[in-house]
Amino acid sequence: VVTSDDGRPLPPGPRRQGRARQPERRPSRSLSRTSIVDAALKVLDAEGLDAVTMRRVADALGTGPASLYAHVADKDEMVAAVLDRVITEVQIPDPIDPDRWQEQLKEIARSSLMTFRRHGDIARASLGNIPTGEGALPLMNAMVGTLLAGGVSPQVASISVDILALFFTATAYEESLETYSREGPGSDEFHAELKRFLGSLPVDRFPHLVALADPLTSGDRDHRFEFGLDLLVRGIASTVEPPRTNRHRAK
Amino acid sequence: VVTSDDGRPLPPGPRRQGRARQPERRPSRSLSRTSIVDAALKVLDAEGLDAVTMRRVADALGTGPASLYAHVADKDEMVAAVLDRVITEVQIPDPIDPDRWQEQLKEIARSSLMTFRRHGDIARASLGNIPTGEGALPLMNAMVGTLLAGGVSPQVASISVDILALFFTATAYEESLETYSREGPGSDEFHAELKRFLGSLPVDRFPHLVALADPLTSGDRDHRFEFGLDLLVRGIASTVEPPRTNRHRAK
DNA sequence: ACCTGAACACCGTTCAAGT
DNA sequence: ACCTGAACACCGTTCAAGT
């Protein structure tokens, strides 16, 4: 009765993951929201998001796809639940240290990227979900809190959270394509081929692509992420006026 | 024979979109790569990317899905061709003005976002494709050229192109969700609901989300984009050392 | 209340057969 | 060379029926 079936914004308060706790007759055969998410997560890690289908997950649980609908409204909801569970793994610095807010913000972003990396191409689902589940709330709260601790205005903090999340999620998704899309072989071969292609373009039409064929195709993933992260965080920091009282131990 | 069927990096030079030009017997009945892309684009604009299926496009052309495979290798390739055509619409400042490189870079990003906005949720396909088709090359070339004109190093320019593209593409995709996903009603209702939800969270666990429930859910799309764009461009600009010879008319 | 088999309305892609 | 009908192996979801 309490369960809202329809959509994202759920009522607050102490919400349970599955149904009410009950003495499970046979743990291995009983279906539950939790066990469904477990199974789906396993499929995701092993074969990627495309393999996470109702039929595939049901099969892993030894039942038919129709059985899942007693615990999950939709495929979308199931994937959202998996995403929420994954986001739970993101490490959040505690406590917030106002003197290190920029670094702590970066730590959250890095941990988010690493968490996505551990779970196939789940970032794709995150890009389209603006996650507001139980698992995402602590993360969002921490990011906002860290920004506020740094003296960032509420308005800028709000936008910044969005942009930072967009950045690490999109980065994770793009990275995951190298592994989970048909078209590209491993990154190395693909990059080499792309470099040859750019280098052989007509110079009069695409002079800059020809000239930069090498750097354009040789970027290091981590370096690129750190570069972008630094741009964003420094930019955000530039919106807060420097503290008036410069403590003695400014070092 | 010349046509490379396999993948993204195509040979350079003067490539044709469809097959060789031929006297079309009955314009309305003949199939071609171009007409397929035309039809697919129409479906995309009207109903979104999910509706762009082989069967749907074939139907719009008055034929069966199997017929498309004579002109297109894959569904993926078909969508990539649609994307490439869309990217063609992006406005590129010409000529490059080194004194206005930051503004010109922003103009490219804005035009890209607007172009995506005009074509459903095609941004989703772009996020997963690192477009390197005929249509994307001028855009990439212009971005790189503009960055170099601003004195940005080749390495930083290369990373910056990636990050800027990631930013406007991910922004466009996220925006398109409000229209093309089942879960959310129009943005207004959804934001109102989300605001209520955040505001009703337990204050002890999520103090910052409760406090910022309003700004977190009231952002203006364009404003957020401009804010992020400005962060990135300013950050990129900060990597180039100021010009040594400060011309007289520095104004 | 939960689970199930069967069915419905879709997919992308292949393949033998036509022209 | 291009096009086609039919089939294959999948989808998500519904629904009547079981317990």
Nucleotides of C under 7 A from a protein CB: 1-7, 10-16
- Give residue A17's pLDDT: 35
Q: Nearest-CA distance from B83 to chain A in Å?
A: 16
Collect all residues of chain B within an 8 Å Cβ-Cβ radius of residue A130: 174, 177
How confident is residue B248, by pLDDT bands cut at 50, 70 and 90?
low
Tell me the CA distances in angstroms from B112 to A123, B126, B162, one per residue in order. Answer: 23, 11, 14
Please say if the pLDDT value at position A139 is more than 80: yes
> Hey, what are B232's tokens?
């990135």
Distance CA A99, CA B20 (A): 65
- Give residue A187's pLDDT: 67
Nucleotides of D under 7 A from a protein CB: 1-7, 10-16
pLDDT, tens digit (0-9, with 9 covering 90-100), for B4-55:
333 334 433 233 333 333 332 233 357 999 999 999 999 999 999 999 999 9
Q: Nearest-CA distance from B75 to chain A in Å?
A: 12
- Give residue A130's pLDDT: 78
User: CA quadruple B8, B163, B175, B230: dihedral positive or negative?
Assistant: negative
Tell me the CA distances in angstroms from B233 to A103, A220, B31, B152, one per residue in order. Answer: 21, 21, 44, 11
Question: Which of A127-141, A157-171, B21-35 has the lowest average pLDDT?
Answer: B21-35
pLDDT, tens digit (0-9, with 9 covering 90-100), for A50-77:
999 999 999 999 999 999 999 999 999 9
Write out the H or E segment, with its range, that includes residue A228. Answer: helix A221-237
- Give residue B71's pLDDT: 97
Collect all residues of chain B within an 8 Å Cβ-Cβ radius of residue A141: 205-209
Distance CA B210, CA B197 (A): 9
Footprint of strand D on the protein (CB under 7 A): A 51, 53-56, 65-66, 69, 74-76; B 19, 30-31, 63-67, 69-71
Tell me the CA distances in angstroms from A131 to A7, A221, B111, one per residue in order. Answer: 12, 25, 28
- Give residue B7's pLDDT: 36
Q: How far is the CA of B11 from the C1' of D17 (A)?
A: 60
Q: Does B219 touch chain A (CB under 8 A)?
A: yes
Write out residues 87-126 of B within 8 Å (CB-CB) of A. Answer: 124
Q: How many residues does chain A have?
A: 251
C-alpha A204: how far from its chain's center?
41
> Hey, what are A247's tokens?
């403590």
Contacts of A153 (CB under 8 A, 6+ apart): A239, A240
Contact: B209, A140; criterion CB under 8 Å: yes
How confident is residue A243, by pLDDT bands cut at 50, 70 and 90?
low
Please say if the pLDDT value at position A250 is more than 50: no
> Hey, what are B155's tokens?
């390495």
pLDDT, tens digit (0-9, with 9 covering 90-100), for B177-215:
888 875 555 567 888 989 999 999 999 999 999 999 999
Q: Nearest-CA distance from A171 to chain B in Å?
A: 8
Contact: B215, A127; criterion CB under 8 Å: no
Alpha-carbon dihedral B112, B117, B121, B125, rounded to 10 degrees: -10
pLDDT, tens digit (0-9, with 9 covering 90-100), for B57-79:
999 999 999 999 999 999 999 99
Tell me the CA distances in angstroms from A106 to A146, A227, A241, B165, one per residue in order. Answer: 10, 11, 20, 21
How confident is residue A165, by pLDDT bands cut at 50, 70 and 90?
very high
Residues A87-113, mean pLDDT to the nearest whole number: 98
- Burial string for A26-55 (b: 16+ CB within 10 Å, else e) reads eeeeebbbebbbbbbbebbeeebbeebebe
